[in-house]
Chain A
Amino acid sequence: SQTIHQWPATLVQPVGSPLSLECTVEGTSNPNLYWYRQAAGRGLQLLFYSVGIGQISSEVPQNLSASRPQDRQFILSSKKLLLSDSGFYLCAWRGQGEGHTEAFFGQGTRLTVV
């Protein structure tokens, strides 16, 4: 069966420090991968999505970047965190092809920038 791992679960980082959140998927190949941020009153905001290794689509110009160095690995990064980067970050995967419509989510990372 497929599983998705996202870590860390919680993170407190000072302003100006770097960030690296990692997400890995097991039990499937060539998944679509997504990073979302959930902030109060703003729902789930799509940040990045990827349909393959090295293929990243950015939805929101911001202080963050994403990379997909391996087929089932998706990394969210920042060189210098801002206070506004605080939030709950969710990684998700979805199978490719017709019929694979359901997205499966990780447990999330609560990031607090202080």
Chain B
Amino acid sequence: AQTVTQSQPEMSVQEAETVTLSCTYDTSENNYYLFWYKQPPSRQMILVIRQEAYKQQNATENRFSVNFQKAAKSFSLKISDSQLGDTAMYFCAFMGYNTDKLIFGTGTRLQVFP
């Protein structure tokens, strides 16, 4: 069975600084998708970034980028130039290529300080 582990329950960063959120996963599949979702205080889930496992190039979306290490089954999220609006719960998620299950980790609560 697939599992997703986020070992950092809480993180904090000062505005304009860079922070990295960690995620590891376990799977026997070779092809899959990985995601980072953001849940601000409004509790609306928002997709931040996605990575396809067969792509070696790390995904980037503006200030958000990932460090995807397939062999290590690691998928960390880097937020550059942190903004107050980045304060949220961040969830790492996994979905197998040939499955319909979307599995989430326990989340990391990120607080951005002015």
Contact = CB atoms under 8 A, between A and B. Distances in A.
Interface in A18-69: 32, 34, 36, 41-46, 49, 51, 57, 59
A42 B43 CA distance: 15
Given A34-B102, A49-B101, A105-B44, A44 B50 contact: no
Interface stretch (B11-19, B69-77, B79-87, B104-112): B104-112
Interface string B1-32: 00000100100000000000000000000000
Contact of B101 (A43, A46, A88): A46
Contacts of B100: 32, 49, 51, 57, 94
Contacts of A107: 43-44
A92 interface: yes
A108 B43 CA distance: 8
A114 interface: no
Contacts of A46: 101-104
Interface string A77-93: 00000000000101010
B47 to A, nearest CB: 5
A11 interface: no
Interface of A: 32, 34, 36, 41-46, 49, 51, 57, 59, 88, 90, 92, 94, 101-103, 105, 107-108
